[in-house]
Amino acid sequence: MGPDIAPGPDVPWRKVLWERQPFPDNYVDERFLEELRRNEGIRQYRYWAVVKEAVLVGQQLSCVAIFITFWLYMEQGLLSPEVLLWTSLIVGVLGYGLHNALRPQLGTDREPRTHLADLQSAAIFLSFTFGFSPVLKTLTESVSTDTVYAMSALMLLAHLVSFPYAHPSPTGSLSLNAALFASVCLASRLPGALHTFAMLSCALLMFALWPCLLQSIRDHAIGPSAWLCVAVCLGGVGGLGSRWLGGAVLLALALVSVILLCPLLLVKLQRHKDNIQGPWDEAEIHEDLCKVPY
């Protein structure tokens, strides 16, 4: 029998490719749609649970706003580099102590770093940054100010886009490098080399060390970390509003959109999701390579 011959009533159709059957190649019987599955394995989101996760995006946006606020204060001569350095040092020591206090409770499998290793890393970074501050100060002298500001804005946007919000610690290399590059560009427009050193130290504290501390707090207790992120958001709006009212309004609108409106839109649109699976999907071969004899 060939494929053009009408099948008899006693010839059942089988879903196989290796056997010649009296049916067209595109033939299916009435049992084909019995294997249809809709929205299989889709996660159901709750509004306030999504809001808690969206707060992390808002707080990182506020961290960028706080960093810009510090730069505005130093650029206008309202904040001395000595005050920023001592403040960063005190905040860094307190954060390091809190991180070490939470570390034994987290039960990590990796061997923890010693205090001496952490101190050596901090000393090396501060020494190199302080030594190269005069070079970094004159790094963009031949570049126009508008170009420097444009590059800084682009790098900060890249930092926000590439930041690993699900697991902030350790910070992604692309995100951290983009933030530090923007920090160097902005710090090169400050009056002196000490200003540059203070700005870069503050950038390391906010973009590299703060995400690690926030991840430790999240692993220890979800509630306090959410309220801490809210405090950072309020601090970002208030700090930016003290020097740039229009920027504070834009930041507040962005935070409301990201934290409240976008989760609401996600939950509302979830009911319209229609994902189907069935026998037309590609076959997935699950094979344990460890059991294959060599």
Mean pLDDT of 185-205: 92
In a domain, 26, yes or no: no
Q: What is the pLDDT of residue 218?
A: 82
In a domain, 231, yes or no: yes
Q: Which two tokens stand for residue 75?
A: 């650029």
Contacts of 293 (CB under 8 A, 6+ apart): none
Q: What is the pLDDT of residue 10?
A: 67
Q: What is the pLDDT of residue 283?
A: 61
75 or 20: which carries more pLDDT confidence?
75
Domain carrying residue 74: 61-100+121-268
pLDDT tens column, 265-286: 999 988 888 777 776 666 666 6
In a domain, 12, yes or no: no
In a domain, 162, yes or no: yes
Query: pTM of whole model > 0.95?
Result: no
In a domain, 208, yes or no: yes
In a domain, 290, yes or no: no
pLDDT tens column, 214-246: 888 887 765 677 788 889 999 999 999 998 898
In a domain, 255, yes or no: yes
Total count of domains within the chain: 1
Q: Which two tokens stand for residue 236?
A: 């970002």
In a domain, 105, yes or no: no
30-34, 80-84, 250-254: range with lowest mean pLDDT: 30-34
Could you give the percent of the chain with pLDDT greater than 70?
Answer: 86
Residue 57: pLDDT band (50, 70, 90) is very high
pLDDT tens column, 102-161: 776 555 455 667 778 878 888 888 898 888 888 888 888 888 989 999 999 999 999 999
